[in-house]
């Protein structure tokens, strides 16, 4: 199972939000590159980089941070937040991201996103699904939809998507444990999917539980920054 640390960016700094609330923000490091290098130094290979300013502004903002991390580490970076136009997609790839992370666009602008898949290639995108009670939420978790997560995954797998991560927004940043039952159902329903769990991971035991249900990867954020999971623990897991 891939261990994928997350770095969330506001004003070029490494931060975490609780339940996606910009009012509940903690700054963990002024220098995201320093954080990324710590992950690289213990042998991790992936990085989930989120432009929270971009998500709010509906346009990529922190691409300079991406550029620096991509140039100065060998991490395989997926970058998301504010990717709304083809120009945004191009900026993200030109700045060194291996994958562009798309969430709301895949729901609201299906035709546009499908066009990007055709133009840039399905392998260049990581699909993100934010859910509450198995229904998708979009636009930074502010809008609820009636779209069932399983229908959403099925539709995009039919378009060739192979990597999807899912965040239960009721768990994210709360350090209360992940939605193991939900993720187990998804993995069982779509065994050929490279499924990445996200949100709520608070301990090494949570990671083992996700490993047990055959998740392909796990995104970990706040638990690292709050010291619940040490870099030493992640190094062991990554062997």
CB 50 within 8 A of CB 80: yes
pLDDT tens per residue, range 89-129: 999 999 999 999 999 899 999 999 999 999 999 999 999 99
Q: Determine the pLDDT at residue 169.
A: 82
- For a pLDDT cut of 70, what percent of the chain falls above it? 95
Cα of first residue to Cα of last residue in the chain, in angstroms, is: 10
Asked if residue 4 has pLDDT above 60, the reply is: yes
Dist CA 109 CA 107 (whole Å): 6
Q: Determine the pLDDT at residue 23.
A: 78
Asked if residue 141 has pLDDT above 60, the reply is: no
Q: Determine the pLDDT at residue 160.
A: 96
Mean model confidence pLDDT for the chain: 92
The token duo for 118 is: 């055709």
pLDDT tens per residue, range 30-59: 999 999 999 999 999 999 999 999 988 999
Q: What DSSP letter does each residue of 9-70 carry, written as one string?
A: EETTEEEEEETTEEEEEEEEES-HHHHHHHHHHTT--EEEEEEHHHHHHTS---HHHHHHHH
Q: Distances in Å between the alpha carbon of 122 and those of 3, 65, 152?
A: 22, 25, 16
CB 215 within 8 A of CB 195: yes
Q: Determine the pLDDT at residue 56.
A: 87
Phi, then psi, of 118 in degrees rounded to 5: -70, -40
Asked if residue 175 has pLDDT above 80, the reply is: no
CATH fold of the domain at 2-237: TIM Barrel (3.20.20)
Mean predicted confidence (pLDDT) in 199-209: 93
- Residue 160, by phi and psi: left (phi above 0), alpha (psi -120 to 50) or beta? left
What pLDDT band is residue 17 in, cutting at 50, 70 and 90?
confident
The token duo for 8 is: 């969330």
Q: Determine the pLDDT at residue 140.
A: 63
Q: List, by residue number, the catalytic residues.
A: 8, 130
Of residues 35 and 168, which shows the higher confidence score?
A: 35
Asked if residue 171 has pLDDT above 80, the reply is: no
What pLDDT band is residue 174 in, cutting at 50, 70 and 90?
low
Q: Determine the pLDDT at residue 170.
A: 77
- For a pLDDT cut of 90, what percent of the chain falls above it? 80
Asked if residue 214 has pLDDT above 70, the reply is: yes
Dist CA 179 CA 173 (whole Å): 13
Q: Determine the pLDDT at residue 238.
A: 76
What pLDDT band is residue 25 in, cutting at 50, 70 and 90?
confident
pTM for the full predicted model: 0.93
């Amino acid at each position: 199972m891939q261990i994928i640390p997350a770095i969330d960016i506001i004003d070029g700094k490494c931060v975490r939000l609780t339940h996606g609330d910009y009012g509940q923000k903690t700054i963990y490091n002024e220098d995201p590159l320093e954080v990324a290098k710590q992950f690289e130094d213990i042998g991790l290979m992936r990085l989930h980089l989120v432009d929270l300013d971009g998500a709010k502004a509906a346009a990529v903002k922190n691409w300079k941070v991406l550029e620096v991390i991509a140039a100065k580490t060998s991490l395989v970076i997926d970058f998301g937040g504010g990717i709304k136009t083809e120009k945004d997609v191009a900026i993200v790839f030109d700045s060194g991201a291996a994958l562009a992370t798309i969430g709301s666009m895949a729901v609201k602008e299906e035709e546009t996103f499908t066009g990007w898949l055709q133009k840039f290639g399905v392998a260049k995108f990581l699909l993100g699904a934010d859910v509450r009670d198995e229904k998708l939420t979009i636009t930074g978790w502010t809008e609820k939809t009636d779209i069932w997560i399983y229908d959403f995954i099925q539709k995009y797998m039919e378009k060739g998507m192979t990597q999807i991560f899912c965040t239960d927004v009721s768990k994210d940043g709360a350090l209360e444990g992940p939605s193991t039952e939900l993720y187990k159902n998804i993995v069982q329903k779509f065994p050929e999917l490279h499924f990445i769990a996200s949100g709520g991971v608070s301990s090494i035991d949570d990671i083992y539980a996700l490993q047990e249900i055959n998740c392909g990867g796990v995104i970990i954020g706040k638990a690292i920054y709050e010291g619940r999971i040490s870099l030493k623990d992640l190094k062991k897991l990554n062997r």
